[in-house]
Chains A and B, each alone.
Chain A
Amino acid sequence: MEAIQKHTGLVYPMNRTNVDTDQIIPKQFLKRIERTGFGQFLFYHWRFDEEGKKRPDFGLNKAEYNNASVLIAGENFGCGSSREHAPWALLDYGFRVVIAPSFADIFYNNALKNGIIPIQMEKEQVDLWMRQAEETEFTLEVDLKEQRIRDAKHNAVYFDIPAYHKEKLLNGWDEIALTLKLEDKIEAYEMR
């Protein structure tokens, strides 16, 4: 996993609640056996019509969001299927940060394993940023070490993230390697 300490990027506002992983990456794209190449299928049926043409009214298709790398969404982002293809698709498309009032548990974990920072934030703040990103070109700077988000005017907001997850993201640690250091404990457990 690629380490991530700080990320500054253009915000794409997705003003929808309960965005499920079937929308993030539809099932017909889950048949690949690699972890890469899923970005082209991100939000596929929202981005493309039945003939595969871009839907011009869908936000992410608009030129002003071309380089978005911070996704802001409504409550319960990533609900439904456990498919890790969802964070793979987000990452491959270019998103490194997702901010929402709440996340589905499995998605939250899957995001962390792939170097995406999932940030849970009060709904009022999310709504405020959502509106700003809808109205103007809006950029946020996310500093994981400081657990701080700043807009271009340097207004700062702080966020929570479990220390354990933060360390892993900051260092890009291989979790399996860390666990295998405890192999004697696993063996002892199995001998019980």
Chain B
Amino acid sequence: MGNQETIVDKIWNKHVVHAEKGKPDLLYIDLHLVHEVTSPQAFEGLHMNNRKVRRPDLTYATMDHNVPTKNRDVVKDEIANKQMETLRENCEKNGIALADMYHPDQGIVHVIGPQLGLTQPGKTIVCGDSHTSTHGAFGALAFGIGTSEVEHVLATQTLWQEQPKTLNVQVKGDLGAGVTAKDLILAIIAKFGVRFGTGYVIEYTGDAVRNLSMEERMTVCNMSIEAGARAGLISPDEKTVEFLRGKEYVPSGEAFDELAESWLALATDEGAVYDKTVTIHAEEIEPQVSWGTNPGMCVPVSGRTPVLNEVEYKEDVQRALEYMGLKENQPITSIEIDHVFIGSCTNSRLSDLKKAAAIVEGKQVKSSVRAIVVPGSFSVKLQAEKEGIDTIFKQAGFEWREAGCSMCLAMNDDIVPHSGRCASTSNRNFEGRQGNGARTHLVSPEMAAAAAIEGHFVDVRTIAGVPN
């Protein structure tokens, strides 16, 4: 007894550079992803102190938050332009690889990491971005950091970290037809709350998780932070290995076989002990729609908005309903939307776009709705165009855009107007997230596509031909 370890223990123990009683561990970082918004002050700090980037070869940068998705050459915002220019200069000066706006590898940082094979099982991965947890889908320990920590990693390739507690989110059974990875993670957050993961690293386990594709696993791990957990991961298996085979930054031949073996050995040992375990039954999960102003404020599409007298935090619920322009006890399917956003690091990969396209094929976006599709990367966009997916969207009345974070956080021109209501495949329904006064409903790509056609939320399972 006592030798069984979780994947978190295994990764942690391999990365401790220095341990001292009464201090956090000094942890080595294998991959540092960088984008334009959270890095300029870090580079400035380095420069002011005459410090160098220790391992430019373990650092990779892209531009995603600010980039225009309509016309790459038109950055109306001078300050945004300066921020991107600053990243370009910083990368050049420090010898860091950069996929800028025009580069074929450009895309949302959490989409391109896996796509290029930079993301690998067992790696410690950080980025000045809270959705870094996405990379956990590959069995990497990946978490978001602040700009001071970005500077620390640039200078030392390490971070001081307390060993996190482990939380097993066990998903029993299997998801029903029309119920997606997005619905699974939204249902988990709705059930256990937006802070149940605080102080923990989540490992998602169980049959329903094993049955997810790698892209679906990324959707689940992506939103771990919305449950309060800095990192969420899934033990590697054959699917992980097959996804990474042949990727640009992954070795090939014998080296790959050896690597694959070491990856599989990272999986949590049978009988390993977690600090906490919670269980959810996949069969009970329906397609989800968020009604409020945090991702835990979510109900099944067949449900209604809450009744004020039945909730614990009445004031918060009331404030959220007011902001959202909704009444209590209102059926979700009665909510009419005027914007649809398919994109973001949660749901902008090829399989997401394909599933949404299957719903809209041969139909028309309701005339009162403005709908946009923003692929997660240039490569996703190209592949989708090869397969004619762009044509399906365009014929249905969707706008087809260039890759970026876009309307998930509306830092560029893709903004939902005041009081506008958006069915969004992104990850945060915070006040003003998609624009000042904008109202966000988080849904799966399939649910967003169906809402675009109908102009209000519908249970995607009632639509014929829904792929599972």
**Chain A residues with a Cβ under 8 A of chain B:** 15-18, 20, 22-23, 26-28, 30-35, 45, 50, 75-76, 79-84, 87, 102-106, 109-110, 113-114, 162-164, 174-176, 179-180, 182-183, 185-186, 189-190
Output the residue of A30, A33, A179 with the most chain B CB within 10 A. A33
* Contacting pair A179 B158 (CB below 8 A): yes
* Majority-rule SS of B interface residues: loop
With contacts A31-B77, A105-B199 taken as known, whether A176 is within 8 angstroms of B151 at the C-beta atoms is yes
- Closest chain A residue to B147 by CB distance? A84
B189-204 interface bits toward A, Cβ cutoff 8 Å, 1 = contact, 0 = none = 0000011001100000
Q: Quick one: which of B41, B146, B226 contacts A33, CB cutoff 8 A?
A: B41
Stretch at the interface among B80-88, B103-111, B355-363, B388-396: B80-88
In this assembly, does B117 line the interface, its C-beta being within 8 Å of a C-beta of chain A? Answer: no
* Contacting pair B431 A75 (CB below 8 A): no
Q: Quick one: which of A27, A50, A82 contacts B146, CB cutoff 8 A?
A: A82
CA distance A109 to B65 in the complex (A): 23
* Contacting pair A109 B149 (CB below 8 A): yes
In angstroms, how far is the closest chain A Cβ from the Cβ of B128? 6
Sorted nearest first, the 5 A-B pairs with minimum C-beta distance are: A33-B40, A110-B146, A113-B148, A84-B146, A82-B144
With contacts A26-B436, A84-B148 taken as known, whether A185 is within 8 angstroms of B26 at the C-beta atoms is yes
- Taking A109-B145, A110-B146, A164-B160 as known contacts, 20 extra A-B pairs with beta carbons closer than 8 A to each other, sorted by chain A number, are A16-B316, A17-B316, A20-B430, A27-B410, A27-B433, A32-B79, A50-B437, A76-B194, A84-B38, A84-B41, A106-B144, A109-B146, A164-B23, A175-B148, A176-B155, A179-B152, A180-B155, A182-B17, A186-B54, A189-B17
* Contacting pair A79 B26 (CB below 8 A): no
* A–B pairs, 22, beta carbons within 8 Å: A20-B294, A22-B430, A23-B430, A31-B83, A31-B411, A33-B41, A34-B44, A45-B432, A80-B130, A80-B225, A82-B146, A84-B128, A104-B198, A104-B228, A105-B228, A106-B145, A106-B230, A109-B145, A110-B148, A114-B148, A176-B155, A176-B156
Q: Quick one: which of B79, B82, B195, B433 contacts A102, CB cutoff 8 A?
A: B195
Q: Which residues of A contact B430 (CB under 8 A)?
A: 20, 22-23, 80
In angstroms, how far is the closest chain A Cβ from the Cβ of B101? 15
Q: Which residues of B contact A81 (CB under 8 A)?
A: 129-130, 409, 428
* Contacting pair A79 B156 (CB below 8 A): no
Interface bin, chain B: 35 or more
* Contacting pair A22 B432 (CB below 8 A): yes
B33-69 interface bits toward A, Cβ cutoff 8 Å, 1 = contact, 0 = none = 0000110110010000101001000000000011000
- Closest chain A residue to B230 by CB distance? A105
B150-165 with Cβ < 8 A to chain A: 151-152, 155-158, 160, 162
Q: Which residues of B contact A27 (CB under 8 A)?
A: 409-411, 433
* Contacting pair A175 B160 (CB below 8 A): yes
With contacts A31-B79, A113-B146, A185-B18 taken as known, whether A176 is within 8 angstroms of B51 at the C-beta atoms is yes
Q: Which residues of B contact A28 (CB under 8 A)?
A: 411
* Contacting pair B22 A105 (CB below 8 A): no
CA distance A58 to B251 in the complex (A): 57
In this assembly, does B247 line the interface, its C-beta being within 8 Å of a C-beta of chain A? Answer: no
CA distance A180 to B158 in the complex (A): 10
In angstroms, how far is the closest chain A Cβ from the Cβ of B85? 9
With contacts A18-B316, A27-B410, A31-B411 taken as known, whether A82 is within 8 angstroms of B418 at the C-beta atoms is no
Q: Which residues of B contact A30 (CB under 8 A)?
A: 37, 65, 411
Q: Which residues of A contact B331 (CB under 8 A)?
A: none
CA distance A32 to B77 in the complex (A): 11
Q: Which residues of A contact B432 (CB under 8 A)?
A: 22-23, 26, 45
In this assembly, does B28 line the interface, its C-beta being within 8 Å of a C-beta of chain A? Answer: yes
B273-296 with Cβ < 8 A to chain A: 294
With contacts A76-B194, A82-B144 taken as known, whether A186 is within 8 angstroms of B158 at the C-beta atoms is yes
In this assembly, does B24 line the interface, its C-beta being within 8 Å of a C-beta of chain A? Answer: yes
CA distance A47 to B77 in the complex (A): 24
Q: Which residues of A contact B155 (CB under 8 A)?
A: 176, 179-180
Output the residue of B146, B155, B195 with the most chain A CB within 10 A. B146
CA distance A186 to B432 in the complex (A): 43
* Contacting pair B436 A50 (CB below 8 A): yes
CA distance A182 to B23 in the complex (A): 14
With contacts A31-B77, A76-B198, A76-B228 taken as known, whether A186 is within 8 angstroms of B157 at the C-beta atoms is yes
* Contacting pair B146 A106 (CB below 8 A): yes
Output the residue of B22, B41, B65 with the most chain A CB within 10 A. B41
Q: Quick one: which of A17, A50, A103, A179 contacts B160, CB cutoff 8 A?
A: A179
Q: Which residues of B contact A80 (CB under 8 A)?
A: 130, 225-226, 428, 430
